[in-house]
A = this chain, B = another copy of it.
């Protein structure tokens, strides 16, 4: 987007700085932060100017106490509950967010922001670097989960919201949720980190590194300058997505869905076509992903996840990240999630217990793996509905 677009008249609940900008023809919320409001980064650098692209659903109540911040995962975006203008598909969490859903848009004011470093309108490596006039590319500053959350808090300030009723997210969204609760304890009434960890494991870093090397190995990546040079590291990005996608599913789910079933053939081809359904499925995941995601964003956001280690700022004592917290927590994991296994989530619970926090923990029995949090998992839905309803009553938001 250009400056003209950013300066269009404000709409919706935000202050006068806000504007909307066309994104593939649809008007979307874009909040600009000018030179007066730089984003301070953990690296010591700062990012300025920058914009945050976000969506809202429902209405903010009079005392601004019913706001729910939904944090998206690595390849997610702000279109949590409405149609995605890029893919044309429905929002990514239709079972959780919407009228009558656990995060009920008839009741709550739901905010979902594209993270810093992303590629859906928030400032990231594909946006223009004002210092050069070219896209940032590889020169975008390396960001952290803390930076993402700091930017989000600046938007929440602009929206005039002091305390969020709830911060919720799965996977990287859960990391942001933990970071919110730790960095802004007074601003988070309740927090729901799902299928996540307080720090990225060696195995998770390893899978991310494979994805990054697949992108960097693609000659079309051009040292990060592919936009300026008119190329696209689509093949490398597709390989990265394929590798990652395996980690989102459980072995049991892959066996149940695909097994060794052949794709559109009676017998193997004795060649390198996608003989097996699982191959065809993975190739499809790779090829559709590159249509909606930026390769450099993938590099920067995976790096932010790798760097996440919430206890590191507290001499390795995770409980101290939550000292004196009054936030109500609901931590959730899935039995077949091997990317962020129950043990990772239990570490969060143990730390919260050690901090004498108000925390409930639920492990959902499912064979759907890490992706379960995005799916219609009845026990997850009913558990979160119960927790959110109960927290809403305590917040004076009873039905």
Which residues from chain A sit less than 8 Å from chain B, CB to CB?
A: 42-43, 45, 138, 141-142, 199-203, 205-207, 209-210, 212-214, 216-219, 235-236, 238-239, 242-243, 246, 251, 254-255, 257-260, 268, 270-272, 274-276, 278-279, 282-283, 286, 299, 303, 306-307, 309, 338, 341
Q: Is the CB of A251 within 8 A of B219?
A: no
Q: Is the CB of B276 within 8 A of A246?
A: no
Report chain B residues within 8 Å CB of A279. Answer: 205-206, 209
A235 to B210, CA, bound (A): 11
Contact partner, A260, options B199, B217, B251, B255, Cβ 8 Å: B199
Q: How close is A248's CB to chain B, nearest CB, in angstroms?
A: 11
Q: How close is A59's CB to chain B, nearest CB, in angstroms?
A: 40
Report chain B residues within 8 Å CB of A338. Answer: 251, 338
Q: Is the CB of A246 within 8 A of B206?
A: yes
Report chain B residues within 8 Å CB of A216. Answer: 272
List 30 contacting pairs A-B, 8 Å CB cutoff, sorted by A.
A45-B270, A142-B271, A201-B255, A202-B259, A202-B260, A203-B255, A205-B276, A206-B242, A206-B246, A207-B243, A207-B246, A209-B276, A209-B278, A209-B283, A210-B239, A210-B243, A210-B246, A210-B282, A213-B238, A213-B283, A213-B286, A214-B217, A217-B235, A217-B236, A217-B239, A239-B239, A243-B243, A251-B341, A260-B309, A272-B303
Report chain B residues within 8 Å CB of A238. Answer: 213, 217
Report chain B residues within 8 Å CB of A242. Answer: 206, 209-210, 213
Instruction: Beyond A142-B271, A268-B307, list 15 extra A-B contacts (CB 8 Å).
Output: A43-B270, A141-B270, A142-B270, A200-B260, A201-B251, A202-B251, A203-B251, A203-B255, A205-B276, A205-B279, A212-B272, A217-B236, A217-B238, A243-B243, A275-B306
Report chain B residues within 8 Å CB of A306. Answer: 275-276
A216 to B307, CA, bound (A): 31
Q: Is the CB of A246 within 8 A of B141?
A: no
Report chain B residues within 8 Å CB of A205. Answer: 260, 276, 278-279
Q: How close is A60's CB to chain B, nearest CB, in angstroms?
A: 36
A338 to B369, CA, bound (A): 15
Q: How close is A378's CB to chain B, nearest CB, in angstroms?
A: 25
A274 to B212, CA, bound (A): 11
Q: Contacts A142-B271, A271-B142, A299-B272 given; indicate if A282 touches B239 (C-beta within 8 A).
A: no
Report chain B residues within 8 Å CB of A258. Answer: 202
Q: Is the CB of B278 within 8 A of A202?
A: yes
Closest to A42 in B: B270
Closest to A224 in B: B272
Q: How close is A48's CB to chain B, nearest CB, in angstroms?
A: 17
